[in-house]
A and B are shown apart, each in its own frame.
Chain A
Amino acid sequence: MNIIAIFISPLIALITGMFFLGISRKIMARLQWRYGPPVIQPVIDVIRSFSQMSISHGSLFDFGIILSLTGSFVLILFLPIGELCPLTSGGLIAFIYLMLLGPFGLALSGAIAANPNSSIGISRKFLLSLSYEIPMLLVFLSVMTYYGTISLVDIVKIQASSGWAIGSWTLVLPGIAYFLILPAILGVRPFEVVKASQEISSGPIAEFGGKHLAFSTLQHALHMFVGLALFVDIFLGGWTLFGLLDFLSGTAWFVILGIIIFLLKMTVVFVIEIFINAVYPRYRIEQAMNYLLKWPTLISFIGLIIVVLVK
């Protein structure tokens, strides 16, 4: 079971991530009253980038992007998708730390390119990460304290019996806070600060061409997948549907239905985020930091105080 899961999980994540990138462009186009590219377009872009012969600024340039994509794939292995969770080691804390590898690899590789646009992009990326990590950590701490465990699989299993976390009155504030910072995690507007095309010539990926660009697109897709999957796992009950389908528990059908329900929930959340993306312009980094450190932090802080008082 675990061996199959090790191979299937990254595949599901990759396909779903590319699907999300595709439907994001299609939905944005339809909202703007035009036809838009086919949903398959990101796959075509990746194939085309991969077939180009690009430049490289040295072995660190290659190593950085490999580290970044490796980090994202390893992160998928530690994430419960449906009921498949191949590796559980260290729980949510190790997960938060493994989330560092992706952006750090991209930062190394972009900075060695000796382009100040990359450096500025990376500094803004880290500042934005700091700003959204503060409410995100408060949210995770509230959930971990309330459920008394640090393992992601346990958190989902508890929700199967006691209802979705975002419905319980102690955890509704952290849920709202996480929903407010979700655009920053995914990199959609108004927090699309890092890959801002016009202001800093696409930031860290300014010197990426060919296979480096293909890898960075895949890494972006996986990173989006992880952000959404965490939200669904922690707040929306993961792969369970209020225990309605427990009679199938233990069979292969349960696993497959679990994955389908999981992906459906993620798609719903993602479409809502695309609608937000279509409406807003891009914030400057100071405005983004000001917003993220004000309202979501306040709401998650109050949520944490409520959890501590209840416990």
Chain B
Amino acid sequence: MTTKSNSHPQERIGVYVCHCGTNISAMVDVEDVAQWAADKLEHKGVVIARDYKFMCSSLGQELVEKDIHELKLTRVVVAACSPHLHEKTFRTACERAGLNPYLCELVSIREQVSWVHTDKVAATAKSKAVLSGGIERVLWHEPLDPMTVPIHPATLVVGGGIAGIQAALEIADAGHPVYLVERDASIGGHMAQFDKTFPTLDCAACILTPRMVEAGMHPNITLMTWAEVENVDGYVGNFDVTVRQKARKVITDLCTGCGICEEKCPKKVIDDVYEAGLGYRKAVYTPFPQAVPNFPVMDVENCIYFDTGKCKACEKFCPTEAIDFTQEDEIVEFPVGNIILATGYDLFDARRVSNYGYGHLENVFTSMEFERMNNASGPTDGEIVLRDGKTVPDSVGIIHCVGSRDMNYNNYCSTICCMQGLKFAHLVQERTGATVYNFYIDMRTAYKGYDEFYQKVLEEGTRFIRGKVAEVTDVARLPNEEGKLIIQAEDTLIGKQRRIPVDMVILSSGLEPRHDAKEVAKTFGISCSADGWYIEKHPKLDPVATMTEGVYIAGCVQGPKDIPSSVAQGAAAAARVIGKIQQKEMALEPVRASVLEDQCSGCRICNDLCPFNAILFHEDTMLSEINPALCQGCGTCVAACPAGAITGTGFSNEQVLAQIEGLLMDMSV
């Protein structure tokens, strides 16, 4: 037994077929399509069918509005471009004319017909089918009103790098509270590890630390370092955030940042985070001198006390009794209205490119190791030296595109490595007078001052070899290669293979998403691309918003970029958030599911299907219920309900089934 459908009072449908200049009309006979709709679908309720050159123009929209008034239209179907472009335009036009905007349907006969097919007859026939689908569907549309939700004024910024700091400061300066949560012991991110920044060669710490201090002291910023977001529930304007404040083993209220604990700690550990493995730290340590906050953390895995029960030197010497070995992680919960993710990047692991020798050839360095080496407060006190800690190189080779623009590793360009490689070339020249060779594929120096910097480095005498390096080896073939590292590459500008012996090799490693980017994205309910960068709402027109309302992205988490771009995105995300907070409430698209109580039998099959936890079960009434504010409108539960007891507005069963009937309408009749 099939349930019968089809009991509608007759609707009055206006149909509009757009030429889009010649974009559609060159491949689809639009007049024929409109006429066909007027003739063949009159019995469905079509009272007027027009074709027009540019439906999205103000004249085109006025056509729709006029018809709604004069012909008393109850439904509107526009056959034109993609709904992603102009659904809102036509909905707004209907609204202006007094028709509920959700009674308007836009079907695409451009992106999905005229632009992709070559046979005019077939394209016209398909357009008719697509239009018929839209008309059948619109009969089942219902007037809907968006839901408004309040916006909580607090914001969560995840990641205390330059992008996150920028965002946090802007929002805080606008007078709203911010929670800045950073996984490491100090904010600052990768920028804090750099020495000089291109193209101006500003000292990174000099420009960054004032910002860090400001963020640390700002009355509107709650700084949570050594902390990670564990869970986020809720929806835009009303997120419930759970943060694990990891135990530093230091009572921060008592700690003065004097550093005695670190001084007295007997356990040295290789610092592979801040010093990129080039230097040491202690088991209880502050990551770097300008750390904000200036509280140490204890590395429990390497601490002698936690290992053997002995030592406790730090506790003995602490003048304020701030060391607490028994300190536990703390769970902190708080509500926020919006979230900005600025979690940055990881460096490509150069060991993967085994032919470049990093990890087994001693004097091959990664870019981050070199940054630390250059830094005056780094492990070599700013001296550029080989691994032995004393020999100054006479010749240095810098290799671009390590792990980037490479189908074997990452296909994309990491944006900053050319400038980075040039910066290194300049610094090496300046400080050591060594001969410098840069091996590049293309020179990417696109932004303000970048190409000028490149020209300067050219003039300084750096040698540039255009060719992807095949190998870095220590196997000498000629006497002048003995004891050196030999870089082998094809110099494509002269068409010859070259072997260049150098003392030191620096790999300009690429940028990668954080190793746990996918899990973190899931926590916040957003998606990653296949590469792992977070997906923006629109690649050109909306780079800091995501598909999830209320969650924004800024900085390298969205894709490799330089510092000015990260700062700009941090500011952009902050501006979006400030705008939302000031509006105090927000309208949500009314596409969501709801349970028909009478028909629900409480089988609970739907309960576990919602990743947004929008489905609740009431034990007392044995009924499932959907929270409309949490529901994102995916429709999975609508499709899963065995009793057909869940309906979905905007994409109801009746609407889709009618659309299928329309699409498969017999055109020969």
Q: Indicate, yes or no, whether A interacts with B.
A: no
Binding site for B on A (CB under 8 A): none
